[in-house]
Amino acid sequence: MKSNILQSVDLTTLTQSERCIYAYLKEHPRAILTSNLEGLCREMYISTASMVRFCQKLGFSGYNELKFSLRQELEDIREDIKEIQYLLNWQLSVAMDSLSQIDLPLLRSICDELCRAKVCYVYGTDSSLMAAQYFHSIMTALDYRTILLQGRYLLEAFTYNFDETEDAVILLFTAHASQEYYSKILNNLKSSSRRVIWICSEENHSIPLSQEVFIHTQETNIIYRNIDFNFKLSTFTLIQVLIELIYQRVFPQLPPTSPDQNTSQNQNIQKRM
Amino acid sequence: MTQFHVDEAVMKSLSKNELSVLQYIYAHPQKVCSMSIKELSSQVCYSPTTVLRLCKKLNLSGFAELKYTLKSRLNHPAPTFSASKGESRDDTEILENISKELAATFHFIDHEQLLEIVTLLDSHKPLYIYSPSGITGIVAEYLQRLLFIAGRKQVFMMESPKLAQHMVKELSPDNILFLISTGGVFPPTLALARIAAMRQIPVIAISPYEVNTLSTLAQYNLRFFTIQRENSGAELTSRLPLFYLISALIRCYVFYKDGIRL
């Protein structure tokens, strides 16, 4: 199995210990995919600082970015997957990576916005619709006034007919950051006092943002016969963390989900409104 | 990675108390390694006999072997999230708790059951998914969508409980019923499982690890860990482990379809 990322490394720029890392990763490119930074460094008997320096020399911001790019590159190479445990470990590592890339201070500020606003509009379409529905359903169960905008036409109609004084937050869940469509939507919303939070599976390269918060969820694309599965797992993970933050805020007297508790124990919590 | 032997039969044999002890052990392996059986039992508020019974059911000779197994597993610890600038301890606990739920769900997956389910999905039998209204309905829709993308033909969604009962009553054993429940005790879902059992229709169920009626009625089970939560009757249990579990199932199915025998 060959990795283009590792193939393109200029060995002359690497120190002795970085060459050891390079040699190890060339031999075991999948090792990085199912290990965290500490675990992999322990395996290689190197410091985490050396590993981070190595990642930066390759042009990545850090370990997680190298891992994400390698995973994406190796996704279609499946010849060495022979054990079900390997596949499950892979899936679990996607979950752990999604959690480690969460920007908690940012989510906390979004949580503040959501708790302050009188109403929250949640938009989603196609594969993002389920993420929007999930957030909408749990927020409704938590007694938040949440309205689901299902599909593009509804979102567009909504942006042309909104009440500018309404104290609201708009949460957009999308798979793409398409210039022609979303720049119009954001433009329509510009004059309102509403805060727009845009959670997108791909990076935004072209739409200029002003007050909006943009989160790129860095989904691992898994293509099968030219169709992206769009599992949306990083988006669901982000939503769950946001829900837990809100849950903690609304019911501070009760702990968030804890594995110490019996799974069968129902937590009857008091109503917010 | 060393694991406890927790297949579906073992899981079904665990009492609620034993399952609570298992969950504690899973969440705090490091702590348990340095505990005596008495300390563990006082920590989890169950008797040492319960702990020993659990060890036996896990095919371990006793508490000492359990600790030994745990120690070997600690070479691959679950990640911990350290608080950085602007994050409070409570926030990082949220990440840790979510990661523990997901890790526990994945580590206890019964490989044999998973493969049997994948083989069943790979057949040409029509597949009926029951979508109860509410949050679990979103999970059912997620499953159906991914099955379509994976190229599974004849996947039917049943949304109303009455219509679903009517449809299942008409099905022959050459069909498959797929049921999802976060508690494993939702009456409309159980009613369908009972009709299917009477008509000898194979049932695949996704339900929690705790003992539940749905798992006893279904022939094929996938299980997950989550904490049941509600707000004065409005249920808001996390479905995140379900989304991950279903995506793992679909990935196995796609490999199987492509002739890769796991």
Closest CA to A92 of B36, B62, B247: B247
Domain membership flag for residue A266: no
Q: Assess if residue A132 is contained within a domain.
A: yes
Q: pLDDT tens across B233-258, in order?
A: 888 999 999 999 999 999 999 988 88
Q: Out of A99, A231, A267, whose CB is closest to B98? A: A99
Question: Between chains, do A231 and B243 touch, taking CB under 8 Å as contact?
Answer: yes
Q: Are residues A121 and A20 in the same domain?
A: no
Which span out of A28-42, A199-213, A241-255, B113-127 was modeled with the highest average pLDDT? B113-127
Nearest residue in B to A81, CA atom? B262
Instruction: Please check whether residues A79 and A198 belong to one and the same domain.
Output: no
Model pLDDT for residues A185-224, shown as the tens digit of each residue:
888 887 766 789 999 988 877 777 777 889 999 887 777 7
Q: Please give the interface size between A and B, counted as residue pairs whose CB atoms are below 8 Å apart.
A: 196
CB contact under 8 A, B234 and A140: yes
Candidates B43, B149, B215: best to mutate against A (most CBs of A within 10 A) is B149
**Does the ipTM surpass 0.85?**
no
CA angle, B224 then B129 then B111, to 5°: 40
Strand B234-235 and strand B229-231: pairing? Answer: antiparallel
A84 CB neighbours in chain B (<8 A) are 111, 114-115, 252, 262
The answer to whether A142 contacts B151, with C-beta atoms less than 8 Å apart, is no
Does A265 map to a domain?
A: no
Q: Average model confidence (pLDDT) for chain B?
A: 87
Pair A29, A44 in one domain? yes
- What is the pTM for the complete model shown? 0.78
The answer as to whether A161 is a domain residue is: yes
At residue B59, the pLDDT reads 79
Q: What pLDDT score does A81 carry? A: 58
* Model confidence at B121: pLDDT above 60: yes
Q: Quick check: B224 pLDDT over 70?
A: yes
Q: Chain B residue with minimal CA distance to A83?
A: B262
> Which range (A81-95, A109-123, B90-104) has the least confidence?
A81-95
CATH number, position A147? 3.40.50.10490
* A119 lies in the same domain as A244: yes
pLDDT at A266: 40
User: Are A22 and A61 in the same domain?
Assistant: yes
Q: Does residue A236 sit in the same domain as residue A213?
A: yes
Tell me whether residue A235 is in a domain: yes
A113 and A240 fall within a common domain: yes
Give me the mean pLDDT over the B157-177 stretch: 95
Distance from CA of A63 to the nearest CA of B (A): 14
Q: What would the two tokens of residue B228 be?
A: 């049941």
- DSSP assignment letter at A199: E
* Same domain assignment for residues A147 and A244: yes
Radius of gyration of chain A (CA): 21
Nearest to B236 among A88, A138, A229 (CB): A138
> What's chain A's average pLDDT?
81
Expressed as residue numbers, the domain containing A115 is 104-250
Choose one of A100, A120, A136: the last residue of a domain. Answer: A100
Q: Does A88 sit within 8 Å of B151, measured CB to CB?
A: no
Residue A107 has pLDDT above 90, yes or no: yes
On whether any CB of chain B is under 8 Å from the CB of A115, the answer is no
Domains of chain B: 1-77 (1.10.10.10), 111-257 (3.40.50.10490)
Of B98, B227, B251, the CB nearest to A241: B98
Examine the domain organization and report whether A120 and A96 are in the same domain.
Answer: no
pLDDT band at B187 (very low <50, low <70, confident <90, very high): very high
Of A33-37, A75-79, A173-177, B24-28, least confident by mean pLDDT is: A75-79
Q: What is the CATH number of the domain that holds A46?
A: 1.10.10.10
∠ CA A62-A67-A71, rounded to 5°: 155
Give the pLDDT confidence score for residue A163 in this predicted structure: 73
List CB contacts (< 8 A) between A102 and chain B. Answer: 95
What is the distance between the alpha carbons of residues A271 and B183, in angstroms, rounded to a whole number? 22
What pLDDT shows up at residue A127? 85
On the question of pLDDT at A260 being above 50, the answer is no
- Mean pLDDT computed over A137-152: 94
The mean per-residue pLDDT over the stretch B218-228 comes to 90
Element (H, E) at B136: helix B135-149
Count of structural domains within chain A: 2
Q: Same domain, yes or no, for A24 and A94? A: yes
> Which range is least confidently modeled, A74-83, A184-193, A220-229, B95-104?
A74-83
In terms of DSSP H, where are the helices of chain A? 4-7, 16-27, 37-44, 48-57, 63-74, 84-100, 104-116, 127-141, 152-160, 179-189, 233-250
Specify the higher pLDDT residue, B58 or B79: B58
Burial (0-12, 13-18, 19+ Cβ within 10 Å), B89: exposed
Q: How confident is the model at residue A271 (pLDDT cuts 50, 70, 90)?
A: very low
pLDDT over 80 at A145, yes or no: yes
The answer to whether residue A271 is domain-embedded is: no
pLDDT band at B16 (very low <50, low <70, confident <90, very high): confident
Question: Are A260 and B262 within 8 A, CB to CB?
Answer: no
The verdict on residue A155 lying in a domain is: yes
Q: What percent of chain A has pLDDT over 90?
A: 26
With CA atoms as reference, the chain A residue closest to B237 would be: A138
How is the beta sheet containing A267-268 ordered, strand by strand? Answer: A267-268, B229-231, B234-235
| A126/A169 same-domain check | yes
Residues A96 and A124 in one domain: no
CB A267 within 8 A of CB A228: no
Strands B176-180 and B203-208: parallel
pLDDT at A269: 36
Whether A269 is covered by a domain: the verdict is no
DSSP, collapsed to helix, strand or coil, labels residue B78 as coil
Chain B residues in contact with A221 (beta carbon < 8 A): none
